[in-house]
Chain A
Amino acid sequence: MALAATKNNKSIALKRKGKLKEFWRRYKKNRSAMVGLVLLLFILFCAIFANVIADEDAVTRHNPEIRRQGPSAEHWFGTDIYGRDIYSRVIFGSRISLMIGVFSAALSLLLGGVLGAVAAYFGGWLDDIIMRIMDMLMSIPATLLALTLVAALGSSTTNLVIALALSNLPSFARLTRSSMLTVVDSDYVEAAKAYGARNGHVIFKEVMPNAMGPIIVQTTQSVSNMILTASSLSFLGVGVQAPAPEWGAMLAEAREFMRQFPYMIISPGIFIIITALSFNLVGDGFRDALDPRLKD
């Protein structure tokens, strides 16, 4: 019995490794997913090496002599109304956006995941209460909810992350719950429960790994969603505050002058698109590679 179990564990470990390889093989073949990966690496590169490839001082330093200059060899994306170098601001902006996107998606996943898992695993009245509250939150548009929350918490980057995470909570809770339910009802979980495994063990060792696929996909894609919403809120003036080089806030500043200086709205917009697109493409690639059934 014990021997059989060890052997089994080994073969499971082998299978996992094979799975990862198989996953990468399938991912690699998907051209748009690879484009997404390249874009993502590009944005990551910008964020990590921002202080190498751009000038940190130029991000906030006002420089009245070179205000509102179009793109040139010296200022690739031009300068803004205060004479700050737009290129440096955009590059440093990638740090802010990535951070907000990743942290809020992770927080949302954590909170929503726990709520959804608890609801699915225990069922009954607990499930009812959690899901009714999630339904209530769902019926308020996410942007509006995030906006209200930021207003209540006060405008700061941390509060923005919290607000974004909370406003996306329902979709994560729902997804975790539904993908857990399909697993919870399966025979092997029944079996684990029957031989008396503790709830925690069953949730984390048996249920979670098997419900992971769709959750990973949704998390990746919600990073892009969060980045877009964050930039919208900053655009409305309730997100990241000036003079931080947030892309949405930069666009809000440029809005009044866009007729005379259209270049000011080009580069921040393009960077938002690249970042959001990269996460979407990668998320899509994950989905296709995780579940080939969905594709053909």
Chain B
Amino acid sequence: MLRYIGKRLLQMIPVLIGIAFIIFFIMDFTPGDPARLILGQSATAEAVEQLTEEMGLNDSFFTRFFRYIYNAVVNLDFGVSYRTMKPVFDDVFTRFPVSIYIALCGMIGSTLFGIPLGVLSAVKQYSKLDTAVNVVAMTMVAMPPFWVAMVLILVFSLYLGVLPSAGATTWIHYILPTITLTLANGSAVLRITRSSMLETIRMDYVRTAQAKGVPRRVIIFKHAFKNALLPVITTVGYIFGSLLGGAIICETVFAMPGLGSLIVLSIKMKDIPVVMASIILLALSYGVIMLIVDLMYAFIDPRIKAKYQRG
């Protein structure tokens, strides 16, 4: 099992370098001049040119990229922010916890919403309840999250005045973002739970369990649901991974200092080191989350466990 984990972690290295290359390449196209950004509008053209030369920005794309990778891998030096002139991780690490909280809230909300309703509507397929749940789920995915966030602020902060509309200092600040993210992602969990349940509920082993007189409730949870869990876990893991950096809208509307809004700001400022470091961190977290998802598979399914143990 440890060997499997080690193998997976090693496999992440080329992926991360590939992602670094893609982002470095894209960022190379963005308009703007880092030296000018650092020195400000009043600096002379010569000063800007000199700094550009000092920073090695006149070198070819590949020289710059390999220098970046070399510094990052060998010296663990990801550079300094062009905007603040401080090491990139100063900013990245103060914001990462907020992103983790936001992603956790969104993930937990979506799971608590999606799994019970998904199971219920699969078990009562074709009933009125099933139809109603499907209509709700469909409408939920069709609602733009920024609009939902605005409506929630309008109702709960501006009219009722019961919940804060901005910031991330107390747990109360996370209530509206959680609702927003649950509305945006809950139906993905619901739908995958429902369809996966519909599949397992028709399996031969469920019929075997019926033939041996196992109570319906036990059949649903112990036989059908447990077997239906794998794709659900993948979806939940994927939601967590994508919310870490993808909750940009939520961070913007609710003014929460997370990683997503830092990336947006840095892209606009052409602060390449911060963008690079943030996205590499996100990709690394994504890889780790997917590894955890796969390990949970092994915990549920003995066949997968046996496969991992073989290496």
A/B touching: CB–CB < 8 A: yes
Task: State whether the Cβ of A201 lies closer than 8 Å to any Cβ in chain B.
Answer: no
- Alpha-carbon separation in the docked complex, A265 to B134 (Å): 26
Assuming the contacts A236-B252, A265-B150, A280-B142, asked whether A152 and B27 have C-beta atoms less than 8 A apart, the reply is: yes
User: Residue of B at shortest CB range from A135?
Assistant: B15
Q: B264 on the interface (CB 8 Å rule)? A: yes
**Could you tell me the distance between the alpha carbons of A139 and B253 in the complex, rounded to whole angstroms?**
24
List, in ascending order, chain B residues with CB within 8 A of A108's CB.
none
Alpha-carbon gap, A224 to B139, bound state (A) = 12
B27 contacts A262, C-beta separation under 8 Å: no
Chain A residues 135 to 163 lying within 8 A of chain B, measured CB to CB, are 135-137, 139-144, 147-149, 151-154
Question: Which residues 122-160 of B have a CB within 8 angstroms of A?
Answer: 131, 134-135, 138-139, 141-147, 150-151, 153-154, 158
**Nearest-CB distance from B241 to chain A (Å)?**
7
Q: What is the CA–CA distance of A272 and B14 in the complex, to the nearest angstrom?
A: 40
| Cβ contact within 8 Å between B242 and A142 | yes
**A272 surroundings in chain B (CB, below 8 A):** 142-144, 147
A255-296 interface code vs B (CB 8 A; 1 in, 0 out): 100110010010011001111110011001000000000100
What's the Cα separation between A144 and B249 when bound, in Å? 10
Whether the Cβ atoms of B286 and A139 lie closer than 8 Å is yes
Q: Which residue of B lies closest to A278 (CB)?
A: B142
How long is the Cα–Cα vector from A272 to B15 in the complex, in angstroms?
36
Complex contacts, A258 vs chain B, CB 8 Å = 150, 153-154, 158
Q: Is B246 part of the contact surface with A, judged by Cβ < 8 Å?
A: yes
Q: Are A236 and B264 in contact (CB under 8 A)?
A: yes
Complex contact A141–B242 (CB within 8 A): yes
For A270, give the chain B residue with the smallest CB separation.
Answer: B147
A232/B146 in contact, CB under 8 A = yes
A231 in the interface (beta carbon within 8 A): yes
User: Which chain A residue lies CB-closest to B195?
Assistant: A294
Chain B residues with CB under 8 A of A248:
144, 146
A128 to B: closest C-beta gap in Å: 12
B171 touches A (CB below 8 Å): no
Q: Report the separation of the CA atoms of residues A109 and B68 in the bound assembly, to the nearest whole angstrom.
A: 34
A151 to B23, CA, bound (A): 12
Q: Which A36-57 residues sit within 8 Å CB-CB of chain B?
A: none
Taking A141-B242, A235-B146, A255-B150 as contacts, is the C-beta distance between A148 and B23 under 8 angstroms?
yes
Q: Are B31 and A139 in contact (CB under 8 A)?
A: no
Q: How far is the CA of A277 from the CA of B144 in the complex (A)?
A: 11
Residues in B whose Cβ lies below 8 Å from that of A268: 147
User: Given A149-B26, A224-B142, A231-B144, A251–B150 Cβ distance below 8 Å?
Assistant: yes
B21 to nearest A CB, angstroms? 9
Cβ-based interface call for A25 (8 A): no
Tell me which residues from 247 to 302 in chain B have a Cβ below 8 Å from any Cβ of chain A: 248-249, 252-253, 260, 263-264, 267-268, 275, 279, 282-283, 286-287, 290
- Chain B residues with CB under 8 Å of A294's CB are 195
B contact residues around A240 at 8 Å (CB) = none
Say yes or no for B18: interface residue by CB 8 A criterion.
yes
| Pair A273/B143 contact, Cβ less than 8 Å | yes
Task: Check if A178 is an interface residue, CB within 8 A of chain B.
Answer: no
A232→B23 CA distance, assembly (Å): 21
> Is B19 engaged at the interface, CB distance under 8 Å to the other chain?
yes
- State whether A259 and B154 are in contact (beta carbons under 8 Å apart), knowing that A141-B242, A231-B144, A273-B143 are contacts in the complex: yes
Measured between beta carbons, the chain A residues less than 8 angstroms from B150 are 251, 255, 258, 265, 269
| A228 within 8 Å of B (CB atoms) | yes
Q: Are A147 and B267 in contact (CB under 8 A)?
A: yes
Interface mask (A61-73 → B, CB under 8 Å = 1, otherwise 0) = 0000000000000
Query: B residues 9-33 with Cβ under 8 Å of A?
Result: 14-15, 18-19, 22-23, 26-31
Instruction: Give the complex CA separation of A255 and B165 in angstroms.
Output: 13
Task: Give the chain B neighbours of A60 by CB distance below 8 A.
Answer: none
Which residues does chain B contribute within 8 Å of A153, judged by CB atoms? 29
- Besides the known contacts A132-B18, A258-B153, A281-B138, 11 further A-B residue pairs in the complex with CB atoms under 8 A apart: A32-B131, A135-B15, A140-B279, A140-B283, A141-B244, A141-B246, A228-B144, A258-B158, A262-B154, A265-B147, A265-B150
Q: Which residues of B contact A (CB under 8 A)?
A: 14-15, 18-19, 22-23, 26-31, 131, 134-135, 138-139, 141-147, 150-151, 153-154, 158, 195, 241-246, 248-249, 252-253, 260, 263-264, 267-268, 275, 279, 282-283, 286-287, 290
Q: Could you show 17 A-B contacts with beta carbons less than 8 Å apart?
A: A132-B18, A141-B243, A144-B279, A147-B263, A148-B23, A152-B26, A152-B29, A224-B142, A235-B146, A258-B153, A262-B154, A265-B154, A268-B147, A269-B143, A275-B142, A277-B138, A284-B138
Chain A residues with a Cβ under 8 A of chain B:
32, 132-133, 135-137, 139-144, 147-149, 151-154, 224, 228, 231-232, 235-236, 248, 251, 255, 258-259, 262, 265, 268-269, 272-277, 280-281, 284, 294
